[in-house]
Homo-oligomer: A and B are copies of this chain.
Amino acid sequence: MTAKKILMVVCDGVSDRPVKQFEGKTPLQVARKPAMDAVARNGVSGTMDVIAPGVIPGSDTAHLALFGYDPYRVYTGRGPIEAAGAEIPLVEGDVAFRCNFATSDDHMRITDRRAGRIRSGTAELATALSGMKVEDVEVIFKEASEHRAVLVLRGPGLDHRVTEVDPHREGEILKARAESPDAEKTARILNAFVEKSYDILSKHPVNKRREKEGLPPANIILPRGAGSLGELEPLPQRFGMKCAAVAGVTLVKGICRMVGMDVPDVEGATGALDTDYTAKAEAAIGLLEENDLVFINVKAPDIAGHDGDFQGKVLAIENIDMMLGRILESIHEEAVVVLTADHSTPVTVKDHSADPVPVAVSGADSRVDGVRAFDEISAASGAIGRIRGMDLLPIVLGMANRSSKFGA
């Protein structure tokens, strides 16, 4: 029994609802997509509730489910994913937060939640905060894009169940409160850190300069989205597979890193509508040489969905199809190919929806049902039936001869 390689292609938000102006069809039903249809035709199809029936998936929770984790168990908040995106490796017991650089007056009232969308100098500001100790807890602090940053508290007796400091609007900042007795220390440390951030940042040369230039100083940190690692055993350890990802969006990259994937930077893979599909295809083909599982996320259909742009979504699908066709040509039938979405982003909704997504899986000796196209309705009559997101990877591992036995 030879273990096969796995290619998983997630067309972000591609799943949709029928649109009256387009003959009651979905973008997937309108697009010309020979490669996607070939995956459906040569394998088995189904529909999938990525989180659970009637639950609208977030991009973060959806990808955790697609990677075989129960999002209700491993997802405690956005912080750890941002930390992974910023390449801060977390250890057990860490509590991570998304943060904003913000502007406060002398009375700890927020006057600008994004410090004038500060773009430069955040690295120096972060350095001034990172490495400090509050009680016996180490502070790791790193800037991210624009006004964003990541805070990690590391030390004994921490717990992520604290309320947010960020008031989510101008005005008084909030004091973090413990939502569990175990989190009292974390709340205390977090509040002390926020105060210290003001003491340190308000005197920082970067801010003195900004004030001279009439810009709001980035003189306080607003943490939110506290989370800890959860019991997330990375894919390589869990399944003995080398895994890599091709993704443009920071959030998706963060999740991929968190689950143990190698995430090389691919030039031109922007996570936008203008992403370089050929570059993605070539990157995936290269990664398939060295890895057991290669994951690709293409964000474009989701963006078109959020924009309510039916034609844009059709175009994104046809671009992904060309990318997929190029990869399929190169791998022949040697890998198990999985094609799906992380959630629906119907153009009529302009946001994520709870509609199940189509899924198709093919491989050299996979069963073949009668489904001949990859779309929301065709997939629903396939042999996979209706599954949950977290069951997908186990099913695919089974088809790739990578499962383990329970019992004797």
Residues of A with Cβ closer than 8 Å to B?
1, 17-20, 24, 26, 44, 47, 51-62, 71-72, 75, 78, 225, 251, 346, 348-355, 365-370, 376-377, 380-387, 391, 393-399, 401, 403-408
Q: How far is the CB of A370 from chain B (nearest CB, A)?
A: 8
> Do B391 and A54 have beta carbons less than 8 Å apart?
yes
A34 to B84, CA, bound (A): 56
17 other A-B residue contacts (CB within 8 Å) besides A18-B366, A59-B408: A1-B350, A1-B353, A53-B387, A54-B394, A54-B398, A57-B405, A57-B407, A59-B407, A78-B407, A353-B401, A354-B403, A355-B367, A367-B377, A369-B380, A380-B383, A380-B385, A385-B386
> Do B384 and A55 have beta carbons less than 8 Å apart?
no
Can you list 30 A-B pairs, Cβ within 8 angstroms, ordered by A?
A1-B349, A1-B351, A17-B367, A18-B366, A47-B383, A52-B394, A53-B387, A53-B391, A53-B395, A54-B395, A54-B396, A55-B398, A56-B404, A56-B406, A57-B406, A58-B405, A348-B365, A349-B401, A353-B401, A353-B403, A354-B398, A355-B367, A355-B398, A369-B377, A369-B381, A377-B383, A381-B381, A384-B386, A385-B386, A386-B386
A56 to B251, CA, bound (A): 33
> Do A58 and B406 have beta carbons less than 8 Å apart?
yes
Q: How far is the CB of A302 from chain B (nearest CB, A)?
A: 13
Residues of B contacting A24 with CB < 8 Å? Answer: 368
A47-B385 in contact given A54-B393, A62-B407, A395-B54 (Cβ < 8 Å): yes
A367-B18 in contact given A53-B387, A57-B406, A60-B407 (Cβ < 8 Å): yes
**Copies of this chain, count:** 2
A406-B55 in contact given A355-B399, A377-B383, A385-B385 (Cβ < 8 Å): yes
> Do A365 and B18 have beta carbons less than 8 Å apart?
yes
> Do A352 and B57 have beta carbons less than 8 Å apart?
no
Closest to A407 in B: B58
Residues of B contacting A58 with CB < 8 Å? Answer: 405-408
Name the contact of A61 in the complex, choosing from B367, B368, B386, B406 (C-beta under 8 A).
B406
Residues of B contacting A53 with CB < 8 Å? Answer: 387, 391, 394-395, 398
Residues of B contacting A60 with CB < 8 Å? Answer: 407-408
5 pairs of A and B residues whose beta carbons are closest in the complex: A58-B407, A54-B394, A354-B398, A61-B407, A385-B386
A394-B349 in contact given A367-B18, A380-B369, A381-B383 (Cβ < 8 Å): no
Closest to A376 in B: B367
Residues of B contacting A17 with CB < 8 Å? Answer: 365-367
Residues of B contacting A354 with CB < 8 Å? Answer: 394-395, 397-399, 403
> Do B18 and A54 have beta carbons less than 8 Å apart?
no
Residues of B contacting A395 with CB < 8 Å? Answer: 53-54, 354
A1 to B18, CA, bound (A): 15
Closest to A403 in B: B354
